[in-house]
């Protein structure tokens, strides 16, 4: 008999001053949980960002901020949160889509636009859950450089670049250079949602912010080329990942 897979607990804070909007988001999370049995969701609602920050103790896996809040905005609250925790996932739920630049400063994972519609919420929330599951069951790869050996968490890799005879790992907290081949690194990272945008770049799809005209992709804060020969496969991989089908 196969042993039943143990559910993963995901703890979510909702910072939203409008009671209707908070209840709508809670109901959508509950509806989602009925179709995705991998998780138990624990949710807590705060109507004031300052109250949330005062109560924050690192126990949440994700925080959903409205942007228009009393006292301080959701953007300002996220900035203050990042000073005490750089790991928790930040998602903005708002009817204002013009905060993209500021959201980069707090490493926001995504925006969910109001009014909430379940079909679009499902796609984004599934991606959120997939990412959290991946992070909470993180894996490491071991790299041998010129002067040291280093273990790197797969979830810390934004993208990998080949330059001359170096392989450069662009990480959340800097860079790491090593030797080897891009095909060898690609094999190491197979199955962890990486895709080649060109011969020079291997991209972690969870950090893709946007694409422009299928010729460039924004990863973290960097703009990378999508080559003509890789375009179809890369865009297909990204669409599948963003849609939660991988």
pLDDT in tens, 75-87: 999 999 988 887 7
> What would the two tokens of residue 198 be?
């060109």
Dihedral of CA atoms 200, 206, 207, 209 in degrees, nearest 10, equals 110
Please state the length of the chain.
246
114-141 average pLDDT score = 87
Q: What is the pLDDT of residue 147?
A: 65
Give the model's confidence band at 3: pLDDT under 50 very low, under 70 low, under 90 confident, else very high: very low
What is the tens place of the pLDDT at every residue in 139-155? 788 877 666 677 888 88
Residue 180 to residue 166: CA distance in whole angstroms:
7
Q: What is the pTM of this model?
A: 0.59
Q: Which of 58, 110, 51 is nearest to 82 (CA)?
A: 58
115-119 average pLDDT score = 94
Q: What is the pLDDT of residue 244?
A: 54
Q: What is the pLDDT of residue 159?
A: 97
- Is the torsion defined by CA of 129, 135, 138, 141 positive or negative? positive
- Whose structure tokens read 């662009």? 170
Indicate if the pLDDT at residue 106 is higher than 90.
no
What is the tens place of the pLDDT at every residue in 195-241? 999 999 999 998 888 898 889 999 988 999 999 999 999 999 988 88
Q: What is the mean pLDDT of the chain?
A: 87
Indicate if the pLDDT at residue 246 is higher than 70.
no
107-118 average pLDDT score = 89
Give the model's confidence band at 4: pLDDT under 50 very low, under 70 low, under 90 confident, else very high: very low
Q: What is the pLDDT of residue 7?
A: 76
Q: What is the pLDDT of residue 146?
A: 64
- Whose structure tokens read 């920050």? 53
Residue 12 bridge partners (DSSP): 43, 62
Q: What is the pLDDT of residue 16?
A: 97
Q: Which of 88-92, 98-102, 123-127 shows the lowest mean pLDDT across its residues? A: 98-102
Q: What is the pLDDT of residue 102?
A: 63
Q: What is the pLDDT of residue 141?
A: 83
């Amino acid at each position: 008999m196969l042993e039943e897979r143990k559910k993963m607990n995901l703890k979510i804070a909702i910072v939203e001053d409008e009671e209707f909007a908070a209840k709508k988001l809670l109901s959508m999370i509950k509806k989602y949980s009925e179709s995705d049995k991998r998780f138990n969701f624990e949710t807590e609602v705060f109507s004031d960002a300052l109250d949330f920050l005062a109560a924050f103790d690192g126990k949440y896996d994700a925080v959903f901020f409205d942007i228009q809040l009393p006292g301080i905005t959701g953007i300002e609250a996220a900035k203050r949160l990042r000073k005490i925790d750089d790991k928790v996932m930040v998602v903005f739920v708002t009817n204002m889509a013009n905060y993209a630049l500021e959201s980069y400063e707090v490493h926001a994972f995504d925006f969910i636009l109001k009014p909430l519609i379940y079909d679009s919420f499902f796609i984004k929330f599934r991606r959120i859950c997939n990412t959290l599951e991946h992070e909470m069951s993180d894996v490491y790869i071991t790299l041998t450089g010129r002067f040291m050996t280093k273990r790197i968490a797969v979830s810390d890799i934004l993208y990998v670049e080949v330059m001359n005879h170096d392989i450069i790992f662009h990480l959340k907290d800097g860079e790491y250079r090593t030797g080897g081949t891009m095909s060898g690194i690609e094999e190491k990272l197979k199955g962890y949602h990486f895709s080649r945008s060109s011969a020079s770049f291997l991209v972690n799809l969870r950090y893709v912010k946007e694409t422009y005209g299928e010729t460039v992709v924004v990863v973290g804060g960097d703009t990378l080329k999508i080559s003509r020969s890789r375009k179809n496969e890369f865009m297909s991989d990204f669409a599948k990942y963003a849609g939660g089908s991988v």
